[in-house]
Amino acid sequence: MKKHLLLISCIVLLITSTGSSQNSDFIPLFNGRDLTNWVLAAPEGFEVVLGELITRSHGPGTDIFTAKSYGNFILRLEFLLSEVGNSGVFIWRNPSIQGNGFEVQLLAPWTPWRPDLYCTGSLYGHVAVTNRPDETPGIWHSMEIICDRKLVTVSVNGEVTTIADIDTVETLAGKPYTGLIGLQGNHGRKGQYAKFRNIYIRDLDAEPDYIIKGFYDKNDQRRKLAQIAAVNMGAKMVQPLAGMLSEENPAAYSGAKQALFDIAAKASDPECPENIKKEVNAEVIKSIMNASSDAEINYLRWLSGLITE
Amino acid sequence: MNPDSKIGRRKFIRKTSLGIIGLPFLTSTSWKVAPSDKIRVAHIGLGGMGIQHMKWFSQFDDVETVALCDVDQLRLAEAYKQLSSPGMDAKADTFTDFRYIIDRKDIDVITCATPDHWHALIAIMAFSSGKDVYGEKPLSLFVEEGNRMKKALDHNGSVFQLGTQIHAGENYHRVAEIIQSGILGKIHTVRLWKTGGSPGLGFPLNQACPETLDWNMWLGPAPYSDYNPARCHLNYRYFFDYSGGVFADFWCHIADIMYMSINPDGLYSIDSRGDIPKDGIADTPEWIDVDFRYRDLDVFWTTIPPPVPGADKMHIGAHFEGEKGTLTCDYATKIINTGNESLSDIPEIPQTLPRSPGHQRNFLDAVKNRTQPESNMEYSRKMTLPMHLALISFRLKRKLKWDSQAEQFTGDPAANYLLSRMYRSPWTLPTI
């Protein structure tokens, strides 16, 4: 099983890791100047200094979170810990709900010795590293976290440390597969710190091909997330979804049908800008021309009517 | 007057009942009622509810069950078997296409227990052929269909009863009486609920339709879909193409007591929240909460009971909040709260409402007397309307404004678009 996962992971990495962080699919999550895209849990928690995001206080509740939720993504960042530093990267977090999401641990080696379930690169308390990374404090390390539906892969300094099949992690069962990304404030003593820089994200839920694959996922929650991602994308998803109306897979077919309705319903809102209405409708019309049955044509025409009425 | 209309035929029969024309009606086994006073009934749609119709109606001496119809030959055969077995002991013609029944001049009444997407068309065709209709809830699948049904009924002088049989019970009549007595003061808030929602139904593959089922006819005016047993018998209610889920189903029963008691007017705002199941192909609400604003009244629908005493024990219920007290009820019970007391009745309040002789009897009497029964067309249309509007708000995921005079949404053409839907060819919704 582990070998199988490693293989999948390698394929994923081959697909996704060919570019650098400056790859056009990656966008900076931290602009190096201010806290745009971020929300502080406590006012004093973090400070931006010369392109670095630095912890400024200590204790619980000093974390920082993205303003937006992310489900499937590739996150790349660099971190540096002080001696005995302790921080982490939160994934799928909802700060108002205890226990949602998980923390990819960032830890300087300190006494007592931390086991693999709690060291840098582990899904803290949920999944141990299988390949323990260098944890030397005072130097910059790079980290990549890939959330690819049920597969979470963590790499430190270019080497995979942890592969988790979320469906097999009992302690994460039933938790949402989406939420905020966060950086843990200084979790250690006063004077200890963590620094972050070059934080980039590739939001896989903004990529039509990736979203479509989610409609075939066996997990109900993840299929729902793919639907939500599709509706958020809007016009760009209409043709790929319409192509699924002749799909035999009932989950994919009914999901696509619903997502198309929801896109049209959103575009039909009196408050939806006229250009978006037109864009969505144009895609529906194009889909009608490519439709493969009367039932599909009638459905798409009905949706077009909803938008243009 | 339509020359084929029931009134015409009945008058004709009365005049000639001692003559030879009466003979075809002598097949009845009951002689307590003169054959000319027999109401000849056909049942369309013979699932569980249709069989129930057959049983209910056949027990009346003045009813003769003359025809049965279902697009599923197995269901039709089962209904026929039951009808001809001891107890009902009757014979009827059987059809898989309801249009044979519409064309029959010797049928007075049809009952309709098809899926919702057939309700309007069958009723309108029945009215136009001079028949009266006892039709299952909901009244129709679309608001516009209800309007057309009303027009067809008025045009043909027909009689219609919605199959909300709880309406006829003692409890609803007594609740309405108590509220109308004014003892609770003016009602400013009503809370309605029904626990549970549409199941997901899983992800079964489409398959070849059994030869015993006319799937194309089952679909009728609804959008085409390949056959899937999960979309058909028993489950059709969980698809917007054919119905509106548990909410549409039970709204008709429990909103009934609100309309019966206070008949609210001036609905102007509808705001639904909810979600559809994730674990299957069904697309109707797994849960739905709705805020309705009427002139001088707030109505809240929830999928869990509201936090009021006694509600947690009721799977379905209505809670009336007045200036001087509250009343919480379900189909068969009620809790009245005025001040410190919790009562099951207030005997001092006189009986002011005439009691129903039973929902089917009430309808049959109306058919004979050419009056309108308790759950008549206009009452049913008004009572079921907010349910349709709530589902449109649910589907569009936005709050909607309603003009209750024009019966149109305000400032939202897409919402108005969903008040109707073009029928699948060759079916059309008749214009009167």
Residue A160 has pLDDT above 90, yes or no: yes
Segments of B323-367 assigned E as strands: 326-329, 334-338, 341-343
Judging contacts by C-beta atoms under 8 Å, the chain A residues touching residue B228 are 250
CATH code of the domain in which A255 resides: 1.25.10
**Residues A239, A297 within the same domain:** yes
Q: Do B283 and A258 touch (CB under 8 A)?
A: yes
**Higher-pLDDT residue of A307, A43:** A307
**Residues A185, A40 within the same domain:** yes
Please state, for a pLDDT cut of 90, what percent of chain A lies above it: 78
Segments of B125-203 assigned E as strands: 132-135, 160-162, 187-194
pLDDT in tens, B298-322: 999 999 999 999 999 999 999 999 9
pLDDT of residue A112: 64
Q: Give the model's confidence band at A191: pLDDT under 50 very low, under 70 low, under 90 confident, else very high.
A: confident
Q: Chain A 196-255, CB below 8 Å of chain B: which residues?
A: 220-221, 223-224, 248-251, 254
Q: Do A299 and B223 touch (CB under 8 A)?
A: yes
Residue A9 has pLDDT above 70, yes or no: no
- For A34, the domain range is 2-204
End-of-domain residue from the set A176, A204, A232: A204
**Residues A231, A134 within the same domain:** no
pLDDT in tens, B16-53: 333 333 343 444 444 457 777 899 999 999 999 999 99
Could you give the domains of chain B? Answer: 6-166 (3.40.50.720), 167-355+376-417 (3.30.360.10)
End-of-domain residue from the set A146, A172, A204: A204
**Residues A197, A215 within the same domain:** no
Average pLDDT over residues A134-155: 96
pLDDT of residue A44: 85
- In angstroms, the CA A238 to CA A253 distance is 13
**Residues A224, A187 within the same domain:** no
CATH code of the domain in which A110 resides: 2.60.120.560
Q: Do A261 and B281 touch (CB under 8 A)?
A: no
CA distances from A17 to A34, A76, A149, B220, B412 (A): 28, 10, 17, 53, 47
Q: Do A295 and B225 touch (CB under 8 A)?
A: yes
Structure tokens of A7? 């293989």
The minimal CB distance from A221 to the residues B278, B417, B418 is found for B278
pLDDT in tens, B195-222: 999 999 999 999 999 999 999 999 999 9
Please state, for a pLDDT cut of 70, what percent of chain B lies above it: 92
Structure tokens of B207? 């398959």
User: How does B224-251 read in b/e, with b if 16+ C-beta sit within 10 Å?
Assistant: bbebbebbbeebbbbbbbbbbbbbbbbb
pLDDT in tens, B371-412: 999 999 999 999 999 999 999 999 999 999 999 999 999 999
| Residues ≥6 apart with Cβ < 8 Å to B9 | B105, B106, B108, B130
**Residues A231, A178 within the same domain:** no
Query: Which ipTM value was assigned to this complex?
Result: 0.91
pLDDT of residue A174: 84
How close is the nearest chain A Cα to the Cα of B413, in Å?
6
Residue B368 amino acid letter: K
**Residues A287, A166 within the same domain:** no
- In angstroms, the CA A74 to CA A70 distance is 10
pLDDT in tens, A196-208: 999 999 999 999 9
For residue A250, the chain B residue with the least C-alpha distance is: B203
Total domains in the fold of chain A: 2
Average pLDDT over residues A61-81: 96
Average pLDDT over residues B330-355: 95
Residue in B376, B378, B368 with CA at minimum distance from that of residue B7: B368
- Cβ-based interface (< 8 Å): residues of B facing A: 203-206, 223-225, 228, 276, 278-281, 283, 395-398, 411-414, 416-418, 421-422, 424
**Residues A145, A89 within the same domain:** yes
**Residues A51, A144 within the same domain:** yes
**Residues A14, A120 within the same domain:** yes
Torsion of CA A193, A34, A204, B394, to 10 degrees: 110
Beta-carbon neighbour count of residue A79 at 10 Å?
23
- In angstroms, the CA B416 to CA B404 distance is 13
Judging contacts by C-beta atoms under 8 Å, the chain B residues touching residue A309 are 413-414, 416-417
pLDDT of residue B325: 97
End-of-domain residue from the set A204, A233, A259: A204
Q: Establish, for the pair of chains A and B, how many residue pairs have beta carbons separated by less than 8 Å.
A: 61
**Residues A198, A224 within the same domain:** no
- In angstroms, the CA A274 to CA A256 distance is 24
**Residues A109, A218 within the same domain:** no
pLDDT in tens, B57-89: 999 999 999 999 999 999 999 999 999 999 888
Judging contacts by C-beta atoms under 8 Å, the chain A residues touching residue B279 are 220
Residue B418 has pLDDT above 50, yes or no: yes
Beta-carbon neighbour count of residue B152 at 10 Å?
23
